Amino acid sequence: MKTFFNLLIVVFLVGVFSCSLDDKSSAPPAGNPVFSVKLVDAPSAYDAVNVEIVGMEANTGSGWITLALDNTGIYNLLSFTNGNSLTLINYKVMAPCTMSEVRLILGTNNTVVVNGETFELKTPSGQTSGYKIKMHPQTLVPGGVYVLMLDFNTEKSVHETGNGKYMLQPVVTGYFENTVGSISGTITPITGAYYVEATNATDTSNTYINSANGQFLLPTVLEGSYNVRFFPNSGFSEKIVPNVVIVVGQTTEMGTITIE
């Protein structure tokens, strides 16, 4: 009986300290890492890209676990640009672990709107297990607060196959906030440009400029030096600001950029 009781204790401890989301039946010890997931989108030329988000999973080295989402449903990804985001997981306590991969699981109710017309977005067969997200492994340590940003690139994810048919093959990159920086600023006049893009030899980040106030925000930019290019509206000239330096964990404020 004593041996059996000891075995139960071991099983209980393994369950508590495995990497899983907090729930009422088995709460991880106090002081464990806190984990969030937010989704943003790189803009595209479509009117709307509506995807059904149903779940997420994570690989912690000892197998895949389910990450319970706070928000599921059908969302227009183009709503999550220029500083807007969709919170999929909102500050959940987890046990310490190393997260090496995540998968985003989509439903079948996906559509794209092109020139005001809605088309079904077909998904490849065999994708019920989810779409792998490119990311670097991250160790979640006690006391740490971690925000995983999922950058869903609709321009690369939606493909026209001909005869008015479209295919969805998601291209999603994951960045932890403690590994990236951001760029923000305002253009003047606010009608001078509609789009901003930061590029260097290895990375590109872009977004539409807010037409109401001229503000822009590139939320997930890797560390390094970038050329920031502003795409002009009719009657204005393109502008490139070189050598904009991005530091991890900081927002590089470009101030007011004059478009001539």
**pLDDT tens, per residue, the chain with 260 residues:** 444 334 433 333 333 334 654 443 345 556 788 999 999 887 788 999 999 999 999 998 788 899 999 999 999 999 998 778 999 999 898 888 899 899 999 998 999 999 999 999 988 765 666 888 888 888 888 888 889 999 898 988 999 987 788 999 888 989 888 888 899 999 999 999 998 999 999 888 888 898 899 999 888 898 999 999 999 999 999 999 999 999 988 899 999 999 99
The dihedral over CA atoms of 14, 15, 19, 21, expressed in degrees to the nearest 10, equals: -160
pTM for the full predicted model: 0.73
Q: How would you label 49-80 residue by residue, b for 16+ Cβ within 10 Å and e otherwise? A: bbbbbbbbbbbbeeeebebebeeeeebbbbeb
Measured CA to CA in angstroms, residue 197 lies from 42, 193, 206, 210 at distances of 10, 11, 4, 14
* 153 vs 39: CA distance, rounded Å: 11
10 Å Cβ neighbour count for 143? Answer: 10
For tokens 């806190």, the residue is 34
